[in-house]
Amino acid sequence: MNKLNLDHTLVMYSARMKLRIKEWIRRYAWAEVFSTLFTFLCGWASSYITKNSVTIAYAGTIGATAGFYGFILSRDIYKSYLKQEPETSRLKVLLVAKCLRNMGIEFGLAELLDFFITRPFCLLYGPVILKNYFWGILAGKTIADIIFFTLSILMFEVRKKHFHWF
């Protein structure tokens, strides 16, 4: 391959990667805002009920999950609904089923790891290591998010390529 072809290939790859990154940001940014808000709210609320660190870590994890998936599912159903033909109850059921299937493919593996291992561990030990609740939760959440989104983005790309049909 000559230098001109290689340069063209690198430019095209770079352009495609920029588009993918923009797509990932559009897909996940607002869901992450809701996830962060719910993480802090649930962790803070549970800290008034109990002083048990494990319970607080799981409350933050449940909050993160509810905020993130609540936003993603609502938005995906809404976008799919806008693309549909005239309404029938059968189409509504298929639309929700397709959104749930897509979410299962995209997030299933990442969420299992995140919910049961990564996020509780990071939310439990972040405040312990940093000796500050706010910064510890934020650092733990960030580390858990990096692991979660690496797996989720990989599966999102697989889903787009192989499961675009219903």
Residue-wise pLDDT for 65-120, tens only, equals 999 999 999 998 888 777 766 666 666 777 788 888 889 999 999 999 998 999 88
Task: Report the pLDDT value the prediction gives residue 110, as an integer from 0 to 100.
Answer: 94
Closest Cα to residue 54, out of 45, 46, 66?
A: 46
Using alpha carbons only, how large is the chain's radius of gyration in Å? Answer: 19
Rounded CA separation 115/64 (Å): 9
Pick the more confident residue, 8 or 23: 23
Please, which residues have CB within 8 angstroms of residue 140's CB and are 6 or more apart in sequence? 119, 122, 123, 124, 125, 126, 127
**pLDDT tens digits, residue range 147-161?**
999 999 999 999 888
Band (pLDDT 50/70/90 cuts) for residue 60 is confident
Tokens of 94: 């298929």
Map residue 52 onto helix, strand or coil: coil
- Domain ranges in the chain are 30-162
Question: pLDDT value at position 85?
Answer: 62
Tell me the average pLDDT across 31-58.
90
The amino acid at residue 19 is L
Nearest to 166 by CA among 103, 106, 99, 84: 99
Local confidence band at 166 (pLDDT 50, 70, 90 cut-offs): very low
What is residue 49's predicted lDDT score, i.e. its pLDDT? 93
Whole-prediction pTM = 0.75
